[in-house]
Structure 1
């Protein structure tokens, strides 16, 4: 309750929450407002925005409804961002908890694996993964998760190292709890806050990575995405710049919303500073 009250007092957090709520509403309403395949030809090609009431955002060079694409693209971008971030955080938490609690050879081995993933830029790793296994939504989610799990793992490990010697952990050992039960039941919940604070960066990065992969033609060809719409618009950028600008603004709004919400969460979690007399 206190966290919610502090969050509502954060201007950036509220603005970000409103942006994400609108995008989530658009994603949920897409099948109702625009039923059927958003990739189908709906009208004349290259209709300019706000010139035809049937197509408020116009149509692309094949005659597909841009507004329908933006709404359905919100479903893909948010789904990929949240799913990839969840998978990356889950992998990172498990690896970081095991490394920090076990120590020794296990810690060294797991951290060297994390180093190997961090040496390669995340986007290049995702690019190589999708290029090898083929473009599909599950593959894109897995590729982004594998490129983003190392940093949450290091954060979780650092927290576990500071927690594992505390009194309640020693008490759990004395009463005979299994080491894995101690690690994941007693230590992990207390190591979550800094990792969850990092989640917003992971979600924003996942949305941008998915858009970049789709822009390069490595997204799922059967799913409308903002990156693919931007790539489609670049072919007629001079004649119809709105085809890239509109989905680009939607993409910027999603990332900005995630960033502002993370600012609000940080403000809510930050201890209140004493007021000046």
Structure 2
């Protein structure tokens, strides 16, 4: 039987062997992921939206966000010049939609990263140390779980200055408890395995056990949770912006909905002002959810998610 050491050669280092195993694991993951149609559709949608968002300066230009340099009249219906019409200031809504994608995706990614990082830290440490620390950490987590996330985010966004980083902070520090609960349960499961006892018997300390044994085993679940958290973060950002708690100096999808409401687009029936940003939010959230469910299905085949 051919082993990994034989493939790499007798002089291969443990580090190169570890990287080879990771590359093979990534290849196996991708081979299984691409068999799921829903996951591939979600990934394709995200790639297209990400490319459009990155290309916004080239496709739309920074002047498209300016109120004083608006090329059209207020609230114009869709036309050849303005495929999605114009807003209340005469700006091209298609260009604003592209710029809004940059903000919404950035907030979603950063807020989800902060949320998952806090949840992973709390979950791993609470599951490892147990005792009084684990009890206190879980009671704090329970308190955040029973409190409405949106209410806490609104409170933070109201107290702090309105900026992009305030929105990221408000979402990140209020949405981590679910991740913490899941990671703690997985940590308890991992630490009950025999190789953890062997590691401790050989002198492995707390940091070694958590970083070398627990964290690699919980990372697949953390990755799936992070993908799902991004959609939640995007929806929360849009809600905060719609309520007027976002940064008024930037263009986001939620901010466009807020502008449409203030301009009376609902009562006047100007659907082109409301539908595009609302549909964009829904499509991106759905795409991230499809990718997250597919990742979870690949990493945990017992779920049996349909392909």
The equivalent residue for 1:47 is 76
The equivalent residue for 1:98 is 125
Deviation by residue 1:72-101 (Cα, 9 ceiling, x = unmatched): 111111111111111111111111111000
Shift of 1:122: 0.7
| Aligned counterpart in structure 2 of residue 247 of structure 1, from 277, 294, 306 | 277
1:231 equivalent to 2:261? Answer no
Tell me, in whole angstroms, the C-alpha distance in 1 between the residues paired with 2:251 and 2:205: 48
1:118 equivalent to 2:145? Answer yes
1:262 equivalent to 2:289? Answer no
| Aligned counterpart in structure 2 of residue 176 of structure 1, from 178, 184, 203 | 203
Tell me, in whole angstroms, the C-alpha distance in 2 between the residues paired with 1:249 and 1:273: 29
Deviation by residue 1:133-171 (Cα, 9 ceiling, x = unmatched): 121111110110111111101111101111113222122
The equivalent residue for 2:48 is 22
How many residues are treated as equivalent by the alignment?
Answer: 272
Tell me, in whole angstroms, the C-alpha distance in 2 between the residues paired with 1:272 and 1:139: 39
Structure 1's consecutive aligned runs of 4 or more residues displaced over 6 angstroms after TM superposition are none
SS in 1 for 2:120: helix
List alignment gaps of at least 5 residues for structure 1: none
The equivalent residue for 1:5 is 31
Tell me, in whole angstroms, the C-alpha distance in 1 between the residues paired with 2:177 and 2:208: 23
Tell me, in whole angstroms, the C-alpha distance in 2 between the residues paired with 1:273 and 1:77: 30
Shift of 1:189: 1.1
Contact (CA 8 Å) 1:214, 1:220: kept in 2 or not? yes
SS in 2 for 1:148: coil
List alignment gaps of at least 5 residues for structure 2: 1-26
Per mean C-alpha deviation after superposition, the further-off stretch among 129-138 and 167-176 is: 167-176
Tell me, in whole angstroms, the C-alpha distance in 2 between the residues paired with 1:174 and 1:268: 34
If asked which structure has higher relative contact order (CA below 8 Å, sep 6+), I would say: 1
Tell me, in whole angstroms, the C-alpha distance in 2 between the residues paired with 1:181 and 1:217: 46
- Relative to the length of structure 2, the TM-score reads 0.84
Contact (CA 8 Å) 1:52, 1:58: kept in 2 or not? no
State the Cα RMSD in Å: 1.7
Shift of 1:39: 2.7
Larger Rg: 2
The equivalent residue for 2:61 is 35
Contact (CA 8 Å) 1:10, 1:267: kept in 2 or not? no
The equivalent residue for 2:238 is 211
1:132 equivalent to 2:162? Answer no
